[in-house]
Amino acid sequence: MSDPTPSEPPGGPRDVVKYTFFHVRPEWRRRPASERREAREEFARTLERPIADLLWRTYSLVGTRAEADLLLWTIAPRLEPIQTLHGRLNATALAGYLDVPYSYLGMARRSEYLGEHAHGGEGSSARRRPLDRPYLFVYPFIKKREWYGLPFEERRRIMAEHFRIGHRYPSVEIHTGYSFGLDDMEFILAFEADDPATFLDLVAELRPSEASRYTALETPIFTARQMDVREALALADGAPE
């Protein structure tokens, strides 16, 4: 008997999003330079081997976080391609010297607070596609339980203010991952931006908003710069190319 075909979720297919943070152990940098160079190239070639339906981007956190050097952002319509990629990476020589201090899993979906009106930005689609802006800011997010006790129309009113503030910063694109039941967090937020200053101003303006009163957790926060995987690995290795 064949396995049953999974039913399609309401609203159509949803992308799975995964943010994996790697830390290079100090002992790796004491290995011979030629060995490290070969291992970096093996890791990069493994990452670049095609996997159907999988998108990925790499970012450097060197100099921005003490416990993370590299971010791998993966997007796929199913979990299987993401697992395949990580399985391949686990077989590389470099993987033996990599820790994963943070790892976040979520899914995209259309925001319930948008109603039926057209909306071209965040929350309007169950797909996620990188815009390839220079910076990515990532953090998990949990709301206070009181939030879910509010009437739905009250939550929608509060979120409307949140959306209006965000619309004043068109160069910042938000990618929300919903993690209910999938991971420890409720949401994984990722913001693409052209520069850190604009994102800082956006977050500062959101702080006094009504929605912020219902925030329970929004740390750790990661500031990452998009970078070719070879360049990011060399920087983490202490051998910028």
Residue numbers annotated as active site: 139
Distances (CA, A) of 241 to 97, 227, 232, 235, 238: 20, 12, 9, 8, 10
Instruction: Report the C-alpha gap between 66 and 163 in whole angstroms.
Output: 33
Q: How many residues does the chain have?
A: 241
Asked if 61 contacts 222 with a C-beta cutoff of 8 angstroms, the reply is yes
Tokens 């039913």 sit at which residue?
7
Judged on CB neighbours under 10 Å (0-12, 13-18, 19+), 95 is middle
